[in-house]
Amino acid sequence: MKLLETVKINQWNLQSRVVMAPMTRSFADQETGIIHPDTVAYYAKRVKHGVGMIITEGIAISPEARGTIGIPGLYMDAQTEAWKEVTEQVHQEGGIIIAQLWHVGRLSHSAITGGIQPVAPSAVQANGLTHRVGLPYEMPKAMTVEDIRKVVQDFTTAAINARLAGFDGVEIHAAHGYLIDQFHFPWVNFRKDEYGRNRYLFLEEILQAVSDSIGSEQVIVRFSEHKDDAPLFFWEKPEEEIKEILEVFRSTGIRIIHPSARSYQKALAKHELTLHALVRKYWDGVVIGVGELTPEIAEESLANGEIQLAAFGRPLLSNVDFVRRIKDKKGIKDYNSKVDLQYLK
């Protein structure tokens, strides 16, 4: 099976094409953002059984970047130091580990951010409640240019800290209606300045700054059509959106991208193709597939070249030995939220 093959992606030698998708697990102390010691075993166990690449849960780039309780950070020395044991253990087991860097923007509350008002491209309040805590989203502050520059620097600092902590690279979370994606979101970005005229400028500046700091070959980008707080949203012109965002990736030297779909096999609302098929039409770099994948769907997509890596979420919560089970042709245990959403598994 191609899914179980070793593969070299950029400078990384992966023991399989299986990726552990990022999943919010709230593994850190709320006050300090320092990870719980058991986080080491959580990631290392999956790699021990053959996962090629781990993408961590979202890691906050600053206190105000957090969207719920228990979010780990990479903005302080103590946080960086705590991650070192995780990366060391993953490497000892033969794996590659990527830090997903995250800022939720308006999808937060001052009770979570340490009293800091959430920010957004424009002062537009989100509908719904914060994850886990269930607080109503607050009215965000419209970002000034100085605020934007600070966030760009925060992403850069977190990326540098990730490398100091031993991570093999970083993933910039530009999906799901979080801060970077809010600039792409016409329901939120009503700016009249250059960040309104060019909705992808903020993303471009972050990618360029991070790439200049740690090297573009160590950077992955996650993006999506769907927004967590706006389930009815869809791109009016999907083909144009894809071409525009892919050009940003090319211009900043990015070669690995992670298009995020709720369902890998479902076509976009206003296009006959799926998200990943449309991306492949215009992109010759590495694509990580994700979206309720099964080993069978992943194998077919790897074989036809639509993706190069396949990311799994819930199956890897339910099956620490997920890759081993595929090799041995054993059944995959179904995801059970009552069991698999425990603090650690």
Please check whether residue 285 is in contact with residue 247, taking contact to mean a CB–CB distance below 8 angstroms.
Answer: no
Strands 53-60 and 96-102: parallel
* Angle at 286 (CA atoms; ends 281, 289), nearest 5 degrees: 80
Q: Specify whether the backbone of 39 is left (phi greater than 0), alpha (psi in -120 to 50) or beta.
A: alpha
Catalytic residue, from 43, 137, 178, 200: name it: 178
Q: What are phi and psi of 11, to 5 degrees?
A: -95, 0
Q: For residue 32, give every residue at least 6 positions away whose Cβ sits within 8 Å of its Cβ, in sequence order, or none.
A: 76, 78, 79
Please check whether residue 256 is in contact with residue 207, taking contact to mean a CB–CB distance below 8 angstroms.
Answer: no
Task: Provide the b/e sequence for 120-129 (b: ≥16 CB within 10 Å).
Answer: bbbebebeee
Query: Which amino acid appears at position 191 of this protein?
Result: R
- HEC-encoded secondary structure of 81-117: HHHHHHHHHHHHCCCEEEEEEECCCCCCCCCCCCCCC
Is 178 one of the annotated active-site residues of the chain? yes
Q: Which residues are catalytic?
A: 178
